[in-house]
Amino acid sequence: MTLYDAKIKEVVKRFPDSPGVYIMKNEEEEIIYIGKATSLRKRVGSYFNRALSAKTEKLVGDIKSIDYKDTDSAMEALILEANLINLHKPYYNIKLKDDKYFVNIIITDEKYPRVLIVRATDEKKEKAKYIFGPYVSKYDAGKVIDFLVKVFSRRGDFGATSGLYRQYYIKGYNSGKTGDISQKDYAKIISYIKSFLEGKKSGIIKKLEKEMQSAARENEYEKAATMRDQIFALRHIRDTAFIRKEDLLLDDNAGTFERIEGYDISHISGEDAVGSMVVFRRGRSDKDEYRKFKIKTVEGSDDPAMMREVLERRFGNGHDWQLPDVIVMDGGITQTNAAKTVLKKHGLEIPIVGIAKGPDRKGEKLFFSGPKSFIFPDVELIKKVRDESHRFAIGYHRKLRRDKIKKTN
């Protein structure tokens, strides 16, 4: 569909109220800007119905025609936008956004490839086999990956620990485990993710339908049911994943956890050492249940010993606090082992997730301790609990230091 100067504003009113990508051209029919929209009509119309910044006003002044491509979902509009920007490199897309804010989705060149988000300026630091982008929002790129990994990593064990290991590994959270899966089946997951990022959803669905029918003929009903669910998810993409609200539950299974407890330690060379306990109920923080601990029995910078003291005081004193469904530790294997030691001493079997910064303080590394059948929270919820326990511990540590300074003055 094409429209020209005087007719632009009126014709835009007849754009569909549905997701898609709009393509703006100048008088020479050169593409000068590409954008995505949840509603093409409302988004494109906004360029002509409100005050604009100087840069955007210059863009609008150069528009002589607009094309659009509608999509089935906002997520697919996001992917199409990135692919078209990469193909055409429109002048205003580059001018209106600093390169340092762009991110790419890459698929690494490894035996078991990972799907990562990297800054466009940093992509050489990763060994990438395929590059998709640019995406102007790391948040949105992350949601695309979350969706694709959850859909395509589904197998008979999806939701069990093996499936979660695989999801974490694919997204670059370095658990070091891909779950119980062959290299051939893993490669199929990556192939589907690659095809979706290339905009080939309809081809994927046709392929899954054939595989589903074949599995049913072979009486592999569980496998066929998994493919049926994958097809349904692809045909009914929930764009609520792109709503940015602080109180939005961060994952599909957050509500299944009545109580998650997060722990952290804070000190400077062993001085004014404290521990924190934060509580999340059904994915939301419950600050009435937070607790803080002043370290009493440990000297020097021994974080694992400090953590053992905190957990001993939490689980060993016979108080009537509700037991958590899962414990999140800010730290690596030593902190996770410290928690295991205390829980074992008191006969408690509570799953533990340790989360630590990766090499060079980049990325995350996960550590698990729990039954094989346990369904762990999504990593975004784990990170939120970790960050809150860290914030609470540092706040208490700083308060003790300020109080000490006041006393000496």
Which two tokens mark 281?
A: 């109920």
Q: In angstroms, rounded to a whole number, what is the distance separating the alpha carbons of residues 205 and 57? A: 42
* pLDDT at residue 359 in the model: 57
Give CA torsion, residues 392, 395, 400, 404, to 10 deg. 170
* pLDDT at residue 124 in the model: 65
* pLDDT at residue 161 in the model: 61
The residues spanned by each domain of the chain are 5-96, 101-239, 254-408
pTM over 0.75: no
* pLDDT at residue 371 in the model: 74
Q: Mapping DSSP to helix (H, G, I), strand (E, B) and coil, where does residue 25 land?
A: strand
Q: Mapping DSSP to helix (H, G, I), strand (E, B) and coil, where does residue 329 land?
A: strand
CATH number of 5-96: 3.40.1440.10
Q: In angstroms, rounded to a whole number, what is the distance separating the alpha carbons of residues 166 and 169? A: 5
Q: Are 353 and 327 in contact (CB under 8 A)?
A: yes
Q: Which of 65, 75, 169, 59 is nearest to 114 (CA)?
A: 169
**Rounded average pLDDT over 345-367:** 79
The residue that leads in pLDDT, 124 or 356, is 356
Name the pLDDT band for 319 (thresholds 50, 70, 90).
low
pLDDT for 136-187, tens place per residue?
888 889 889 989 998 998 754 444 566 777 888 888 876 667 777 889 989 9
**Rounded average pLDDT over 14-34:** 94
Mean pLDDT of the residues in the chain = 84
With a pLDDT cut of 90, the percent of the chain lying above it is 46
Q: In angstroms, rounded to a whole number, what is the distance separating the alpha carbons of residues 311 and 263? A: 9
pLDDT for 255-273, tens place per residue?
567 899 999 999 988 888 9
* pLDDT at residue 282 in the model: 81
* pLDDT at residue 242 in the model: 56
* pLDDT at residue 378 in the model: 73
Q: How many other C-beta atoms are found inside a 10 Å radius of the C-beta of residue 179?
A: 21
Contacts with 159 (C-beta within 8 Å, 6 or more apart), sequence order: 375
pLDDT for 65-104, tens place per residue?
899 999 999 999 999 999 999 999 999 988 756 555 688 9
Q: Which amino acid is at 365?
A: K
**Rounded average pLDDT over 118-131:** 78
DSSP conformation letters of 276-316? EEEEEETTEE-GGG-EEEE--S--SS-HHHHHHHHHHHHHS
CATH topology of domain 254-408: Nucleotidyltransferase; domain 5 (3.30.420)
